[in-house]
C-alpha cells in the first residue's frame, strides 16, 4: 500500500519538501562554509573590500594558544555537568513524586511550564535583582530574619572551600566553586528543571499500568519497584532529556551576558566567542573559534550517542 504511494507522485512529495531543504541548506551550509574560509584569513574589521592576508591555520593557532580559550572550555564542561546533573535528578524525583492523584495537579503543571518559555533576558534580570547585594530580595529577606547578607554574585571562591589548607584555593579555581558560577548554574536549574520534570512525567504516564499492578501483586517494595521497574523503563526518556539538555545548555548566552558580561569566572565558550568577535573585533580568530566550537559540540554529542543514545534511536 505504502509502496504504491512512494512510486507515484514523486515530484509532488519532493516539491513539498524542497523549500524546507533549500532554506535549511542555505541558512546552515553557507554560513558554516563561509566561516571555514574566513577562518583562514586575517580579516580586517574596518576595511571590508580589500583582499585580506591569507594566514592558513594561523587563526586556529591563535585560538589554541589563548589561555582564555582553555579556561572557557573548562567552564563550559563544568557548566554542562553542574547544570544537567541536578536538573535530571530533581526533575526525575519530582515526576515520581507527582505521579499520583492529588488536587491542583493541572495548576502545578501549568506553573511549571512558565520558566521553560520565559525569555532568558527577563529571567536574568529577575535573578540579578534577587541576588543583588544592597537591595536584592534575598539579602533583604536575610536581614529581616536576622542573618548577615551574602555576596551572591561574588566571583571569589566559596570561603568554606578556600579555607581548606593547601588545596583549597586550587579546588575553588579549578572547579569554579564560587557564588557567581553557582548563580548561573542555579538560574539554569530554575529554568530547565521543570522541562525535565514534565518530560519524565509524560514518560511515566506512558508506561503500561499493568507493570505496576504486577509489582504490587508480587509484593515489591516502593524502592524495588522504582529501582528495578520504573528506572529501566524510563531509561530511553532519560537519554532523550540528556540529549536535549546538552544541546540547549550549549546555547546558553543571554543569562550570563546580562548579569556578568564577559567576566572571566563565568566566561563559557559562547561568551568567549562573542568577546573575540564583537568586543575585540577579531573576525578571523572568531571564525576559527566558531569552527572549533562546532567540532567540540559534535564531539560531545557523538560521545553521548555512543554511550547510550544509540540504543534508543527509533
DSSP string, 225-249: HIIIIIHHHHHHHHHHHHHHHHHHH
Q: Single out the residue of 185, 190, 78, 180 nearest to residue 123, CA to CA.
A: 190
Using left for φ > 0, alpha for ψ between -120 and 50, and beta otherwise, residue 117 falls in alpha
- Comparing CB distances to other proteins, the nearer of 32 and 214 is 32
Distance CA 256, CA 148 (A): 26
The binder of other proteins chosen from 117, 145, 209, 217 (CB under 8 A): 117
Site for other proteins in 139-168 (CB under 8 A): 140-141, 143-144
Site for other proteins in 192-231 (CB under 8 A): 194-195, 198-199, 201-203, 206
Residue 307 touches other proteins, criterion: CB under 8 A: no
Site string (10-39) toward other proteins, x via CB under 8 A: --xxxxxx-xxx-xx--xx-xxx-xx--x-
Site for other proteins in 68-97 (CB under 8 A): 94, 97
DSSP, collapsed to helix, strand or coil, labels residue 52 as coil
Q: Single out the residue of 220, 202, 262, 244 nearest to residue 83, CA to CA.
A: 244
- Comparing CB distances to other proteins, the nearer of 95 and 172 is 95
46 DSSP 8-state letter: S
Residue 64 touches other proteins, criterion: CB under 8 A: no
Cβ 142 to other proteins, closest distance in Å? 11
312 DSSP 8-state letter: G
The binder of other proteins chosen from 71, 74, 109, 155 (CB under 8 A): 109
Residue 120 touches other proteins, criterion: CB under 8 A: yes
Question: Which one of 57-65, 77-85, 170-178, 293-301 is the stretch in contact with other proteins (CB under 8 A)?
Answer: 293-301
Cβ 166 to other proteins, closest distance in Å? 37
Distance CA 135, CA 127 (A): 12
Amino acid at each position: 500500500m505504502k509502496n504504491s504511494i512512494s512510486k507515484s507522485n514523486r515530484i509532488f512529495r519532493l516539491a513539498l519538501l524542497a523549500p524546507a531543504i533549500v532554506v535549511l541548506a542555505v541558512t546552515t551550509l553557507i554560513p558554516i562554509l563561509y566561516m571555514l574560509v574566513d577562518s583562514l584569513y586575517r580579516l580586517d574589521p574596518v576595511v571590508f573590500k580589500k583582499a585580506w592576508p591569507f594566514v592558513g591555520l594561523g587563526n586556529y593557532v591563535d585560538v589554541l594558544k589563548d589561555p582564555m580559550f582553555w579556561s572557557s572550555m573548562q567552564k563550559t564542561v563544568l557548566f554542562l555537568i553542574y547544570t544537567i546533573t541536578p536538573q535530571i535528578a530533581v526533575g526525575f524525583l519530582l515526576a515520581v513524586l507527582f505521579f499520583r492523584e492529588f488536587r491542583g495537579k493541572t495548576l502545578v503543571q501549568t506553573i511549571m511550564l512558565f520558566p521553560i518559555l520565559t525569555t532568558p533576558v527577563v529571567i536574568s534580570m529577575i535573578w540579578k535583582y534577587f541576588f543583588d547585594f544592597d537591595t536584592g530580595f534575598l539579602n533583604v529577606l536575610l536581614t529581616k530574619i536576622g542573618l548577615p547578607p551574602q555576596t551572591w554574585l561574588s566571583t571569589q571562591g566559596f570561603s568554606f572551600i578556600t579555607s581548606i589548607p593547601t588545596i583549597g584555593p586550587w579546588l575553588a579555581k579549578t572547579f569554579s566553586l564560587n557564588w557567581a558560577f553557582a548563580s548561573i548554574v542555579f538560574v539554569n536549574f530554575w529554568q530547565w528543571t521543570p522541562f525535565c520534570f514534565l518530560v519524565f512525567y509524560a514518560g511515566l504516564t506512558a508506561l503500561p499500568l499493568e507493570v505496576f499492578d504486577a509489582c504490587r501483586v508480587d509484593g515489591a517494595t516502593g524502592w524495588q519497584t522504582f529501582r528495578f521497574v520504573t528506572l529501566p523503563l524510563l531509561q530511553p526518556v532519560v537519554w532523550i532529556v540528556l540529549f536535549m539538555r546538552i544541546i540547549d545548555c550549549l546555547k546558553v548566552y543571554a543569562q550570563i551576558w546580562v548579569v556578568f558580561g564577559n567576566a572571566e569566572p563565568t566566561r563559557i565558550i559562547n561568551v568567549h566567542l562573542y568577546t573575540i568577535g564583537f568586543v575585540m573585533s577579531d573576525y578571523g580568530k572568531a571564525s576559527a573559534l566558531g569552527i572549533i566550537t562546532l567540532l567540540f559540540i559534535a564531539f560531545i554529542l557523538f560521545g553521548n550517542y555512543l554511550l547510550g543514545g544509540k540504543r534508543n534511536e527509533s
